[in-house]
A and B are shown apart, each in its own frame.
Chain A
Amino acid sequence: MEKLLNELSSDCKAAYDLESDIEIKAQIPENLKRNLSLDLPSIAESDLLRHFTSLSRKNYAVSTTFYPLGSCTMKYNPLVNERIAKFDNFNKLHPCQDEETIQGVLEVMYKLEKDLCEISGMDCFSLQQAAGAQGEFAGLLIIAKYFKSIKQKRTKIIVPDSAHGTNPASAAFAGFDIVSLKSESDGSISPAKLKEVLTPEIAAIMLTVPNTLGTFERNIPEISKIIHENGSLLYYDGANLNAVMGVVRPGDMGFDVMHINLHKTFSTPHGGGGPGAGPVGVKAFLEPFLPFPRVESKGPKFVLNYEKPESIGKLKSFFGNFPVMLKAYAYIKSLGAKGLKNVSEQAVLNANYMLARFKDKINIPAGNRCMHEFVLSPKALFKNGVRTLDVAKRLLDCGYYAPTVYFPLIVEESIMIEPTETESKETLDAFVDTLVKIIREETSLEPQKLKDAPVNTPVGRLNEVEAARKPILKWE
């Protein structure tokens, strides 16, 4: 068992120290002074390094194992991008420096925006948002502000029941009421059902294309027509953009607003849960509402424009997560148009290859073809009380991170697999063999092995119910 920092703490010399070339004199008035003991651990540098190195080894990561987490696009994160982001001339800059001294930063932001426009078919982007959910929130605020500007009272957003949880949460956060729309068994939207819920109060519909079952929304031209005839807007959740780069563009499909997760499609690492970036793209008529500042070019120089009277405001301090933008831009420059299209083609090929190998062995509710990811429904094969959760934990024992499970909500006991383009055929084959063996053989022959899993991980299966019932949220 790994000790906690407070358990490692002793009377030893702490890891860091600092001297001052100015006399240390800090007289703090009594009413402002801290009396509460600080209680920070005291640990020697070598022990601290061992502690965190040891912790790092307890993580599965893209750098250690196949990570087929559906909808999360856990592709290889090129090391060169990390190296570039560590350049002093990017790292040691203050955000309030004069424009002339951060031209490189502004250039990266300006050019990234232009490339994202080209990839998506939108007219402009704000890069400020720190994550996909914040991108959604910004996009919905833009929609709200737009309708306010044309004096229309539209208070509702349609969200399909197959959507990511952040969609309805972001819409509610932006002040909208949610109209849930039941999707078809392959996750697609029926235009007839859409018409039934359409009213003059609908501001927009949020769609994920390809949807969370990995199928392309074939009715999109009709949906776009229906939505726009109603005076509503079409929102594109870009979580699955990795399937369609260079193939089809949200802007060309009729989408008015979208967000992109740079930490998915554009390969910036996820950091164990962030930082990410969620640029928001809009058509030209919505440009005035984008967050400020906007990076503009003025002759050979790049400048920041804060004069945006109709803007929804700011979503985050300063410019957003610049290193994430930088890594995404480096990724795009590495791939170029041809490489980007190849990414999507290979991602779709990898997923279809896996799907073809699973077909006839495990039920696939959305059919025999998919885009970049697909959902398995193994429920009918489960015996002896085995559940998808057990399968996921057993996969950890086999050295794989588990796919997304129990999402999308519309498929029972679902297993959602996204291989990404950077995995080799050998990896895909080995994973398919393993998962088929677990589901088709082990559930009948060795059910206890699944229920006991994982046993090869640093800890065995953890009691989540107990954790929530009696929360221990810090060391005692």
Chain B
Amino acid sequence: MDYTSQSQRDRKEMFKAIGISGINELFSVIPEDLRAKELNIAGGKTEQELLNYFSDIALKNKILTSFRGAGIYDHFIPSLVCEVVGRSEFWSAYTPYQAEASQGTLQAIFEYQSLICALTGLATSNASLYDGATATAEAALLALRVSRKSKILISSALHPEYIQVVKTYLENFKAELVFLDVSDGAVKKEILEANLDADTAAVIIQSPNYFGVIEDMQTLSVVTKRKDSLFVAVVNPLSLGVFKAPGEYDADIAVGEGQVLGSSMCAGGATFGFMTVKKALEWKMPGRIVGQTVDKRGNRGFVLTLQSREQHIRREKATSNICTNASLNALAGCVFLAGWGSYGFKKLAEINISKARYAFSKIKSLEGFKPKFGEDKVFFNEFVIETIKDVKKINKVLLENNILGPLDLSETEKTFKNCLLFCVTEQRSKFEIDRLVEILSKI
């Protein structure tokens, strides 16, 4: 099945109007010896066949009760979010170049920017980036651009995939990356002080970090400012319902992964990345930005603005090469943030903490399981447990019970042998947590 609509008669009339006798004449400019042989691609399925074919493929995937996070989280998505992003007026539109015919997307993104600014406590948000990892990389590039310095300090507890993406993005820039030790679960002030110098463009700290631990961002930011370096906060937006906002600890740039705000896990994407900055940095930001203006009659309206930063105008001198971003997922984020109210959003964060705490206290009291880090560490969704049990066996048994168990940290972090990264969100019921604990207790 294809989706063209011309009848044979239409085609003949079109040939006649063009002055050709057949379709091949339109391709005569392409040298014969370059022409493709018939492609070997199976297909031609009807809609019904297509649905059956993909139902069969989908069945080869397994939906599990998730106790795994590590960057992608199983959170509740209100029906309103699904309804709005399911509207074809939103999903089948292009980037809003013709503002007057794109006020829906533009106003929604303006509202998104407003909500993300409120959440992070910073002045200016862009219209979204691809994901949390690329947003972090763009923040590093922004810092290099603004500071004209060359060193970037990065917490070793930044998500390992974010670290990989930052490295890829910075590969051909003359930048030195220094990784800060986190062997006790968080970045120590002394470690930062020892590595910070006059050539440090930025310090990038994630909180909650990869191990779920809330960093003392206030203290780290104060230290960072002593050398006039930029403080980049990589934050989980849901956690900002209760934890300090980047604006409160004088962060210059806040970035993060927006999946937790209304995007399904979907094997890791599509999601969106967000970036907010201090006012002074707004002209240096990458990506689209929506601004408010007026029409000829003085009515409020919205347009893409500060465009002289961007690739379609500045070409090789643009602040970034980004064009397409993750608008529809940012729209989901907007609808998600618009519906909780301040009280509800805080409560949502508190439920996450409470459930994770509940699971933590149950698991750590099991024989053979203990917390990896000191009890003073505060966490949001995730926590690290060290075990004397066979890690592989734990996850195998959990999988047999349709549970996606904790992430085995020894696979990615050599210093975390026998360590498990558990994740508990508001989606997990007391029953599910108790069942997890019971299965663990029998291993």
Contacts and interface: CB of A to CB of B under 8 A. Distances in A.
Contacts of B89: 56-57, 59, 61, 63-64
A334 B2 contact: yes
B415 interface: no
B67 to A, nearest CB: 10
Contact of A165 (B294, B296, B312, B347): B312
Interface stretch (A193-201, A229-237, A421-429): A421-429
Contacts of A227: none
A172 B350 CA distance: 45
Contacts of A461: 100, 295-296
Which 7 pairs from chain A and chain B are nearest by CB? A336-B43, A175-B172, A318-B268, A95-B268, A14-B341, A271-B328, A273-B327
Interface in A216-248: 216, 218, 220-221, 244-248
B38 A18 contact: no
A277 to B, nearest CB: 8
B353 A18 contact: no
A246 B338 contact: no
B108 A247 contact: no
Contacts of A90: 58, 61, 266-267
B162 A317 contact: yes
B269 interface: yes
Given A334-B43, A422-B4, A4 B265 contact: no
Given A48-B338, A78-B3, A337-B38, A323 B378 contact: no
A120 to B, nearest CB: 10
B131 A96 contact: no
B91 A269 contact: yes
28 contacts: A18-B76, A25-B354, A37-B342, A48-B338, A52-B335, A57-B89, A64-B89, A77-B91, A89-B58, A90-B267, A91-B266, A95-B267, A101-B61, A166-B311, A170-B321, A173-B169, A252-B36, A269-B92, A272-B327, A273-B105, A275-B328, A317-B71, A337-B38, A337-B39, A340-B41, A340-B43, A401-B101, A402-B98
Given A25-B357, A63-B89, A317-B71, A471 B248 contact: no
B115 A40 contact: yes
Given A166-B321, A421-B4, 18 more contacts: A6-B114, A18-B347, A23-B354, A31-B218, A33-B244, A72-B94, A80-B47, A131-B130, A133-B324, A218-B29, A272-B331, A317-B159, A318-B267, A345-B26, A392-B98, A473-B125, A473-B289, A473-B290
Contacts of B51: 80, 83-84
Given A346-B4, A462-B295, A319 B354 contact: no
Contacts of B388: none
A173 B314 CA distance: 13
B43 A93 contact: no
A90 B159 CA distance: 24
B87 A56 contact: yes
**B interface residue count range (under 10 / 10 to 19 / 20 to 34 / 35 or more):** 35 or more
A267 B2 CA distance: 11
A29 B295 CA distance: 49
Main DSSP-derived SS at the A contact region? loop
Nearest to A271: B328
Given A95-B72, A169-B315, A340 B293 contact: no
Interface stretch (B10-18, B149-157, B225-233): B10-18
Interface string B54-95: 110111111110101011101010101001101111111111
A281 interface: no
A338 to B, nearest CB: 6
Given A102-B267, A462-B293, A88 B103 contact: no
**A interface residue count range (under 10 / 10 to 19 / 20 to 34 / 35 or more):** 35 or more
Given A61-B93, A166-B323, A335-B2, A353 B121 contact: no
Contacts of A63: 88-89, 92
A182 interface: no
Nearest to A115: B41
A307 interface: no
Interface string B305-332: 1111011111111101111111111010
A85 B161 CA distance: 25
Nearest to A404: B97
Given A15-B78, A59-B89, A317-B131, A467 B292 contact: yes
Contacts of B121: 36
A287 to B, nearest CB: 17
Contacts of A315: 134, 165, 168
Contacts of A119: 39, 41
A178 B62 CA distance: 48
B163 to A, nearest CB: 9
Most chain-A CB neighbours within 10 Å: which of B102, B327, B358?
B102
B290 to A, nearest CB: 7
Contact of B101 (A29, A60, A357): A60
Contact of A133 (B80, B323, B345): B323
A426 to B, nearest CB: 9
B233 to A, nearest CB: 13
A118 B39 contact: yes
Nearest to A98: B399
A349 interface: yes
Contact of B311 (A42, A165, A472): A165
Nearest to B302: A462
Interface string A339-373: 11111011011101101110000000000010000
Most chain-A CB neighbours within 10 Å: which of B299, B308, B323?
B323
Contact of B44 (A5, A28, A335, A425): A335
B90 A28 contact: no
B119 interface: yes
B125 A474 contact: yes
B351 interface: yes
A28 B269 contact: no
Nearest to B431: A21
B242 A26 contact: yes
B316 A246 contact: no
A18 B301 contact: no
A246 B80 contact: no
Given A92-B264, A336-B41, A474-B113, A38 B119 contact: yes
A220 B351 contact: no
B53 to A, nearest CB: 6
Given A25-B354, A61-B89, A131-B323, A472 B292 contact: yes
Nearest to B341: A14
A133 B96 contact: no
A88 B61 CA distance: 10
Given A94-B72, A169-B321, A221 B34 contact: yes
Interface string B332-343: 000101111111
B399 A101 contact: yes
A91 B291 contact: no
Contact of B1 (A41, A82, A334): A334
Given A353-B17, A422-B3, A425-B14, A169 B311 contact: yes
Contacts of B26: 345, 348-349, 352, 369
